[in-house]
A = this chain, B = another copy of it.
Amino acid sequence: MNKHPLPPLTHIPANLQTIADYEQQAAQHLSMQTWSYLTGGAMHEISVQQNLLQFQDIQLIPRHLNDLTHGHTQITLFGKQYPHPIFLAPIGHQQLFHPQGEAASALAAEVMQANYILSTFSNTAMTEVNQNYPFKWFQLYWQGSRECSLPLIKQAEASGFQAIVITIDAPHVGIRDRERKIFFQLPENMQHPHTPTHISFPDVSPTEHPLFNGLMKIAPQWHDIEWLINNTQLPIILKGVLHPADAKKAVEMGVHGLIISNHGGRILDTTICPLHALQKIRQLVPTDYPLLLDGGIRRGTDIFKAIALGASAVLIGRPYIYGLATAGALGAAHVIRILKEEFEITMALMGTATIKDINNDHIYLD
């Protein structure tokens, strides 16, 4: 976080060994403006902090002396096998962090065989992501109407994306004190190939409430989700679910999976911790119903804990951006590699040979 950010590195120095190392390094490569945008969150950033702390409070009870030969980290989601459960969360505007933006992070995902979720607000078009890479999903921000949203879905289908993730927790931007204090703005000339023009806002008469009759009119609603399910062959995944009642409703409606997330603490401060929400929701959805956990993953032990508490896979967000900012695709790939290796070693130390072996019997609930 400094006045003269360093250019990205073209190799990985030996001292970058953990996500924390990458976080520290990335701060050298970004302006204070971008750094605040990346690391900040809503209001007092309590949820940003809680997303990290939620993992520290959970204690592991290892098993020993099991046969771990033939162990692996594969998972199956929607009938498809993924090599490991570390997915890249959808993050927009990645050219803020590195000139190659999403092109670089998608490449990193491919190198590490990580499922990549491309954001609607990507600076890289869906069509520019390797058409043959099998592990990629598309994240949809509702475009104000069905007619405006459908073309993006069809484009995702055509480009080989395997699922649609629709973000439902941000009908209004978060009140981010840190960003507002520095009057953060996206660069004027930044390209967003999926949303080249702005969504047109509805007219609000002076007697109407500007928020509820304005922005809220173009937010997606449950019937839009139903329509979405009926208008694509791809699995539909809701991102941002925290309330058990929403989870229940989604399952009943035919939604194919849920990402338990508080949007990295960037939208609403002091939400329930995703890990707590996960536990509550796991209890009321069918066994093996896909629940992904997003928020606060920084170590291999965190991944283990999320899975033990019911997650089918996890999303990482800021960590791979730290890698991207530090050294482009190379850095992002190294971040994924670090987490993957830490996770595998954790599996070994916990006495679990496969993802299926991991459950809440490995967790100490005080």
Chain A residues at the B interface, C-beta cutoff of 8 Å: 14-15, 17-18, 20, 43-44, 46, 55-56, 58-72, 168-172, 174-175, 177, 180-181, 183, 209, 211-213, 215-217, 219-222, 224-225, 238, 240-246, 267-273, 276-277, 299-301, 342, 344-346, 348-350, 353, 361, 364, 366
Contact = CB atoms under 8 A, between A and B. Distances in A.
Q: How would you classify the secondary structure of chain A's contact residues: helix, strand, loop or mixed?
A: loop
Contacts of A180: 17
Contacts of A55: 270
A70 to B, nearest CB: 6
B272 A60 contact: yes
A211 B301 contact: no
A59 B268 contact: no
B177 A43 contact: no
A276 B364 contact: yes
Nearest to A346: B268
A246 B56 CA distance: 24
A259 B71 CA distance: 27
Given A55-B270, A59-B273, 18 more contacts: A17-B181, A18-B177, A44-B299, A58-B270, A59-B270, A59-B272, A61-B272, A64-B168, A64-B169, A64-B238, A65-B168, A68-B219, A69-B216, A71-B212, A169-B349, A211-B348, A216-B348, A270-B301
